[in-house]
Structure 1
């Protein structure tokens, strides 16, 4: 248990680096819980659970679309041979500025036969976002 001015806190299942930062008399008793005692009054244990996001967005684009976008991005940015470009790749991390992003979008429009609104084009920051946008535009075009 760690005590601070009449308050006792017991934590378990902590990383070793955090365990070492607790007071020397800290005690680990049960997995994934916190027990609190203030001036002799004990409160119910609080269970720790991994943080799970409520909403999760899955990739909408087909792998071949993502692959083609990667090729176009590599070509437009003249990326070196050894540089890996994937769906998670950010244009800025690949050295693209706003003009490069416009050129990438123009290349995508030409290849996929789509038209991207300027506002939408400015909001694209990753290969995956571009591929998802393409899939959405192609789907809307066929409706």
Structure 2
């Protein structure tokens, strides 16, 4: 390695390898004689209906009660049932408790998509709103 002297300081930096960017095509990449085109990705906006604060708090209380969590266990909207120690049977019992507390009926397909407190609260608000619209 050659030392480069700049003023009184000595640098042992590696020489920079130059590459020819003129030969690189940004229109596509090639791997094993197969061309891959790089297409711009359209951005999609997702509208997330955040649950009401009261609903999230009530769901947190029901989850704490159903899972018999120790005093001081923090349950928030982002809490996952599995992280709180719930298995599939516990999740079914949580859903049953939510149905009873909010006077709603949750379909099995919807119940399977619930993984967090926020998921449950969003579904409850949606179902309660649908019931009110009838």
Give deviations 1:29-81, integer Å, cap 9, x for gaps: xxxxxxxxx37x6xxxxxxxxxxx74244343110000000000000011111
Runs of 4+ in 1 over 4 A off after TM superposition: 2-5
Structure 1 unaligned spans of 5+: 8-37, 42-52
Structure with more contact order per residue of length (Cα contacts < 8 Å, sep ≥ 6): 2
Q: Which of 75, 81, 88 lines up with 2:78 in the alignment? A: 88
Q: Which of 101, 107, 120 lines up with 2:91 in the alignment? A: 101
Q: Which of 48, 52, 57 lines up with 1:62 in the alignment? A: 52
The normalised TM-score by structure 2 is: 0.68
1:77 and 2:67 correspond: yes
- RMSD, aligned CA: 2.5
Structure 2 unaligned spans of 5+: 1-13, 23-42
C-alpha change, 1:81 and 1:57, in structure 2 (3 Å) is farther
Residues of 2 paired with 1:132 and 1:77: CA distance? 20
Residues of 2 paired with 1:62 and 1:3: CA distance? 60
